[in-house]
Amino acid sequence: MNISKVYAVYFSPTGTTDQITSYIAEEIASRLNVKCIKDDFSLPALRQEKRKFKSDELVVFGVPTYAGRVPNKVLPFVQELFEGDCTPLVPVVTFGNRAFDDSLNELRDELSARGFYAVGAAAGCTRHVLARWLAPERPDEEDFKVLDGLVEAVSGKLQNAACADELSGGIDIRGNKPVGPYYKPLQEDGSPANFLKAKPKTNMDRCNNCGKCAMVCTMGSISMDDFTEVPGICIKCNACVNKCPKGAKYFDDPVMLSHLRMLEDNFQRRAETEIFV
């Protein structure tokens, strides 16, 4: 089966989903001796046009895991912006050392309903976006060794298949169980942790009004007129905190901080990157 190009498509507020998705796509493209094209849809300005992919193109599609699922504010972008035409797919999710739960199945299923078919898949462990002391050095060398296995398997499948029909049966991800409810975060005492309304604060002693936080906000929710104001939805992607050059952005919601301490207490063990072929 001839692949004309490989796409790395991703929603990656802090760069780790980009890192894993692009690694897989670039390595497969190198093995197939074709061009790799990066398509970042993390910012509002990058979500203005619908993408259509052909049957001779491979799409490596990455999103982070939020509460064990595709982020609910990102799912509409997946559903509305991307269309395949019997297009081979490698769905990829990242997760912050807790678990990826149903996010990979959900991503695969949503894209399968839109003209794609999976020829491999990956769930990559990365530094936790909020509890940054969880898996701080991930992905590491061992993670990339696992991903190399996916690259080899997918490249071989595509090179050896005579046509799409030989591959379009899809792949099994943990028994292909139905997508379940969202993971419910907990506080240290085991009570529910509802911090949906939490928004980043600004340390004005550090802020130099550069506007970087507003420019990198994935929802376009930080005011361009007053960077301390967040009138729109905050999905806790941590882009503003992670990319502020002065370290002026932070979260102080007590319920959210209690949840992060719960994660620190219970999820220090090494979670493994997994591949499915």
pLDDT in tens, 120-177: 999 999 999 998 889 999 999 999 999 999 999 999 999 998 877 788 778 999 999 8
Domain of residue 243, residue span:
201-252
User: Both 54 and 153 in a single domain?
Assistant: yes
| Calpha distance 71→64 (Å, rounded) | 7
| Calpha distance 35→6 (Å, rounded) | 6
**Confidence band of 276 (pLDDT split at 50, 70, 90):** very high
Q: Does the residue 196 lie in any domain?
A: no
* C-alpha dihedral sign at 237, 238, 243, 249: positive
| pLDDT at residue 21 in the model | 98
Please give the average per-residue pLDDT across 221-225, as a whole number: 97
User: Both 21 and 153 in a single domain?
Assistant: yes
Beta strands 201-202 and 249-250 are antiparallel
User: Both 220 and 150 in a single domain?
Assistant: no
User: Both 243 and 152 in a single domain?
Assistant: no
Q: Does the residue 136 lie in any domain?
A: yes
**Confidence band of 6 (pLDDT split at 50, 70, 90):** very high
Beta strands 51-52 and 82-83 are parallel
User: Both 12 and 133 in a single domain?
Assistant: yes
| pLDDT at residue 162 in the model | 82
Please give the average per-residue pLDDT across 62-84, as a whole number: 98
pTM for the model stands at 0.97
The CATH number given to whatever domain includes residue 56 is 3.40.50.360
| pLDDT at residue 128 in the model | 95
Query: Which is nearest to 265 in space by CA: 113, 117, 103, 98?
Result: 98
Q: Does the residue 259 lie in any domain?
A: no
Interval 233-265: pLDDT, tens: 999 999 999 999 999 999 999 999 999 999 999
| Calpha distance 56→104 (Å, rounded) | 23
Q: Does the residue 265 lie in any domain?
A: no
User: Both 12 and 127 in a single domain?
Assistant: yes
User: Both 24 and 108 in a single domain?
Assistant: yes
User: Both 60 and 177 in a single domain?
Assistant: yes
Q: Does the residue 264 lie in any domain?
A: no
The CATH number given to whatever domain includes residue 213 is 3.30.70.20
User: Both 206 and 170 in a single domain?
Assistant: no
| pLDDT at residue 181 in the model | 95
Query: Which of 170-174, 182-186, 215-219 comes out lowest in average pLDDT?
Result: 170-174
Please give the average per-residue pLDDT across 47-68, as a whole number: 97
Q: Does the residue 213 lie in any domain?
A: yes
Tokens of 138: 């991930």
* Structural domain count of the chain: 2
* C-alpha dihedral sign at 6, 143, 92, 87: positive
| pLDDT at residue 163 in the model | 77
User: Both 96 and 154 in a single domain?
Assistant: yes
Q: Does the residue 81 lie in any domain?
A: yes
Please give the average per-residue pLDDT across 99-103, as a whole number: 97
**Confidence band of 196 (pLDDT split at 50, 70, 90):** very high
User: Both 174 and 227 in a single domain?
Assistant: no
User: Both 115 and 28 in a single domain?
Assistant: yes
